[in-house]
Amino acid sequence: MNVLVIGNGGREHAILLALKKSKRVEKLYCMKGNAGTSEIAENVNVDFMNIDAVKEFALANPQIDYYVVTPDDPLSIGLVDALESIGKRCFGPNKAAAQIEASKAFAKELMHKYNIPTAKSATFDNYGDALDYIRKEGAPIVLKADGLALGKGVLICDTVKQAEEGLKEIMLDKAFGSAGNKIVIEECMQGLKYTPGEEVSVLAFTDGKTIVPMITSCDHKRANDGDKGLNTGGMGTFSPCPFWSKELEKEVYESIMLPTMKAMNAEGKTFKGCLYFGLMRTNKGMKVVEYNSRFGDPETQVVLPMLKTDLLDIFEAVTDGRLADINIEWDDGACVCVVLASGGYPVHYQKGKEITIGDVGECTIVHAGTAIKDGKLVTNGGRVLNVVAKGKDVDDARKKAYAAVKNISWEGMTCRTDIGVKYREG
């Protein structure tokens, strides 16, 4: 079978690496891809945000049997719907279901309506009303741009002054464009043991009838060590989550995962694909921080390397509505991903810096913002490379990852040095 993965980041490279293990895959394609994906797939230079161009390509290339749509933007504009309308088989939610990520206001309304545990919140499309609410509620408080903002549309404000400035930045200055036309204002949830609260990501396969959680992972969102600095798309991940337990798994499945799947069905927005649950362990139980309508990045980079079951078999079972028939198995041990970024990320950074990669041992290098220019590997984005290592535990995996990091360089390269060191329960 020939499979095309849509996207150009580390997540897509990680998915392609997992699909490459399938004995059923004959050839892989990636639209648009990066320097890493070009090593295992044929990169296709088509703008995946142009639905007509993608449909034209799909009709002209009948040899491609299956499409995997992973980024949030093309999902939100209905790329899966468009491909299915011309008879193409896809993995990924349709436009209606993708709203669970594309609109934070919709997601909060869904949770409140169906009693899915989450933070207290209010939604505003009027700046003055939102400002009054902030002054009434006080701080700490969380501001979320309603629409898609590359994972950066969330501001955690410790003071009312910070919140007032953040509100102006989102709603008036349009720091996140039209994503900030509407804003969700939330209480700042308190962690059970740590401050800020303990967050865990749980991705799940679902065909709208069955939902199967993947292994847990933890993301490091902030740019700098100690979870300081600006929010980013993610500076690294590790799996499994240290505080996860069978009891928490049961609680989350029964009070959050199943109710979410059923709520989407009840709203006429059946979700088929990968549903991402961003969760927090609070002093009032597990609560939803956010939903994503696709594989997380860089969570995918530590989850899929631990998957033993054929990923293509799972994808097709989701598409065909027979996920219940698949036995999904995982490796023991742990996995760590350290993101190597361009200097200045997530604000201003330069591209085109030549990358040198030396001995990385057992690690896998997953490409994100890379390109080939004049025959050389160069930087082509903010998050550039992911160094992924497996080990018997998180400490073992992170030791391997950071040993490899020492042998990779380019002008201005930066990374966090503390990936995998949080939520220790001992």
What are the φ/ψ torsions at residue 8 (nearest 5 degrees)? Answer: -135, 20
Q: What is the pLDDT of residue 300?
A: 98
Q: Binning pLDDT at 50, 70 and 90, where does residue 151 land?
A: low
Taking CA atoms, 87 is separated from 56, 207, 285, in Å, by: 13, 19, 44
Quick one: fold of 2-94? Rossmann fold (3.40.50)
How is domain 120-187 classified at the architecture level of CATH?
2-Layer Sandwich (3.30)
**Phi, psi of 299, deg, nearest 5:** -60, -40
User: Measured in Å, how far apart are the chain's first and last C-alpha atoms?
Assistant: 47
183's tokens: 């804003």
Decide if pLDDT at 197 tops 80: no
Q: What is the pLDDT of residues 198-223, one digit of tens each?
A: 999 999 999 999 999 999 999 999 99
DSSP code of 244?
Answer: -
pLDDT > 70 in the chain, percent: 98
Tell which residue, 340, 337, 319, has the closest CA to residue 406. 340
Ordered by start, the domain boundaries in the chain are: 2-94, 120-187, 198-325, 334-409
User: What is the overall mean pLDDT for the chain?
Assistant: 95
CATH of the domain spanning 334-409, picked from 3.40.50.720, 3.90.600.10, 3.30.1330.60, 3.40.640.10: 3.90.600.10
Residue pLDDT, tens place only, 365-381: 999 999 999 999 999 99
* Pick from 45-49, 92-96, 147-151, 259-263: least confident: 147-151
Q: Is-contact 58 86, C-beta < 8 A?
A: yes
Yes or no: is domain 198-325 CATH 3.40.50.720? no
Long-range contacts of 240-246 (CB under 8 A, 24+ apart): 240/215, 240/216, 240/334, 241/200, 241/216, 241/217, 241/423, 242/218, 242/394, 242/423, 242/424, 242/425, 243/193, 243/198, 243/200, 243/281, 243/423, 243/425, 244/200, 244/216
For residue 216, give the nearest of 152, 286, 156 by alpha carbon. Answer: 286
Q: Report pTM.
A: 0.94
